[in-house]
Amino acid sequence: MPSSPIIPARVVPGHRVASGLNGNPRFPGGTLRMQQPFFRERGLDLAAFHPGTVNVSIAPWRYLVGGARHTFRRVKWHPVEPAEDFSFFDVEVRHRGGPPVAGWIYYPHPETKPEHLQDPDVLELLLPFLDGLGYGDELELRVPEDQMSFQLQTISS
């Protein structure tokens, strides 16, 4: 993605629902493990990725959704929870000057997501396990401009 701009990001705590680390019994093993078979049925295999999201703040930037690589509508992944829409955007991540790592921006559509909404400057990344990655770490993101664009937030008075 050499023509894509570099977007600085910082790893921040998430809800820990995707990974299952919050211990919510409604989502045994985490929402991602429960959702993976439904994504695989639709053509997206996430087996190579860590079964949790890396939440990053891109503040003071904000993102605008364009054309996702994959969008899945009305995914009924849970026996009780309502169906949701999900999109996945290509992302390339650099951590501590290392080589680029390919992953996905995981985007549960807010209008269909019943809870655990993200702040408007937070993106959820699906990546292979990155040894040593921790809260506060700085990352560099590249996303194809036709999939997602980024603008500096302006302060309203």
What does the pLDDT read at residue 65?
A: 94
Bigger pLDDT: 92 vs 20: 92
3-class state of residue 113 by DSSP: coil
CATH for 7-14+46-152, options being 3.20.20.10, 3.40.190.10, 2.40.30.30, 3.60.21.10 = 2.40.30.30
pLDDT confidence band for 19 (50 / 70 / 90): low
pTM of the model: 0.88
Q: Which residues contact 96 (CB under 8 A, 6 or more apart)?
A: 132, 137
To the nearest whole number, what is the mean pLDDT of the chain? 87
C-beta separation of 132 from 157 below 8 A: no
Instruction: Name, of 32-36, 89-93, 97-101, the range with top average pLDDT.
Output: 89-93
Long-range CB pairs of 36-39 (<8 Å, 24+ gap) are 38/72, 38/75, 38/76, 38/77, 39/70, 39/72, 39/75, 39/86
Taking only the tens place, the pLDDT of each residue in 54-83 is 999 999 999 999 999 999 999 998 888 889
H helix or E strand, kind and range, residue 31: helix 31-41
pLDDT confidence band for 3 (50 / 70 / 90): low
Distance separating alpha carbons of residues 81 and 154, to the nearest angstrom: 36
